[in-house]
Amino acid sequence: MSLYEEMQNVRNQKDFILFLNHLSQDAEQHPQEWETLSVPEYLEHVSAWVADYPASPANRIDWNHPDWNTIALLFYMGKIYE
């Protein structure tokens, strides 16, 4: 299962913790796939995606009640958003 597929399947705390561990491993094993490698820059990209995405026509997130899958999505987008 790809990291993206795993992110889509996060439904609870246990899934989220496992996903974060795999995300960390992915950063170590595939740094060329990451837009950022520093923690500050990664967090900046997560923040930028959260600020930008609500205006997207693809937005289907209830930002007042995010679930575990949404939280996993935030961390995944930090990997690829610039």
pTM attached to this predicted model: 0.77
Write down the pLDDT at residue 42: 87
Fill in the amino acid letter for 56. S
Q: Which residues of 61-71 are buried (b: 16+ CB within 10 A; e: fewer)?
A: beeeeeebbee
- pLDDT at position 82 is 78
- List the pLDDT tens digit at each of the 82 positions of the chain: 899 999 999 999 999 999 999 999 999 999 999 987 788 988 898 889 989 999 999 999 998 988 999 999 988 888 888 7
Extents of the domains making up the chain:
3-80
